[in-house]
Amino acid sequence: MGSSLSTLPTNRAGNPQIGQFPYFSGNISGATTSVVTIPLASLGASCGDTLLAASHAAMTLRDANGSVVRTETGWGAGTRITAKGSWATYFAFTVNCLPPPPSVNTCETAWALGGDTFKSLGIATRWGWVLTVDGPVTAPIYAAAGGNNLEAGTLVGSLTVTPGATSTQVTFTMLPGFSMDETHLYVGTTLPTTAAPGQLGNLHALTAAAGDTYTVNVTGSPLYVAAHAVVCGQYR
């Protein structure tokens, strides 16, 4: 298979040498179909290219009892490769690639990454993190990181925590391609007692928001922060 017959294994008379064909099914006795998968890259081809192929099969006709009636050689229907000698044929086809599936947004739960997990602190068994804050800090936000497994999750944004003299400002910022439908936030001088987002004490209902900011009347050092969001986008 290729863009021309120049790479087809042939003898001096120009007849194809099937024993040197690069793709071989092996023994498939009794099979009625055979599939060969050939990466386009191995042929230097791409979608829309016209390729030439020669396909050969050794076939057997059996009767109702399974006994061999006769054997034949077969070729994919097409143009004869040589005018004389072997009746082997080749055919041309255009590579038609399926379009990529339409993009579908999905929404996932997301937490700002902290130094402790809810599980390690004995708060809950669900995944998520608690940040310990002694001053201004920015932390990544991960979605769909079940079991606190960052490799399984997707980085979707960042959380900025800025403690002040009379209040603490917390800002969620999404990366391009992601948006938020909800945010939930805990800020306190003691650890949260729950990992349930709706019980963290602060929530905003949003619509495809790229950012969200809270000003919470809590100060102190250290502060404990648990930041949750429902993040929508195209996940890997």
Secondary structure (DSSP) of 148-199 = G-TTTSEEEEEEEEEE-SS-EEEEEEEPTTEEEEEEEEEEESS--S---GGG
What tens-digit pLDDT sequence spans the chain (236 residues)?
677 888 888 888 888 888 888 888 888 888 888 888 888 888 888 888 899 988 988 888 888 887 888 988 888 898 998 988 888 999 998 988 888 777 678 999 999 999 999 999 999 999 999 999 999 999 999 999 999 999 999 999 999 999 999 999 999 999 999 999 999 999 999 999 999 999 999 999 999 999 999 999 999 999 999 999 999 998 86
Helices (H) and strands (E) in the chain, counts: 1, 15
DSSP single-letter state for residue 200: S
Q: What is the pTM of this model?
A: 0.60
Q: What pLDDT sits at residue 230?
A: 98
Which pLDDT belongs to residue 89? 92
Answer for the pair 78, 91: CB distance below 8 angstroms, yes or no: yes
Strand 202-209 with 178-188, pairing = antiparallel
Asked whether 161 and 137 are in contact (CB, 8 A), the reply is yes
> What is the distance of C-alpha 103 from the center of its chain?
12
* Residue pair 186/180 in contact by the 8 Å Cβ criterion: no
* The pLDDT of residue 61: 86
Q: Which of 185, 86, 188 is nearest to 132 (CA)?
A: 188
C-alpha closest to that of 167 among 131, 213, 198: 213
State residue 27's pLDDT score. 85
pLDDT of residue 16: 87
Taking the CB of residue 210, how many other CB atoms lie within 10 A of it?
Answer: 14
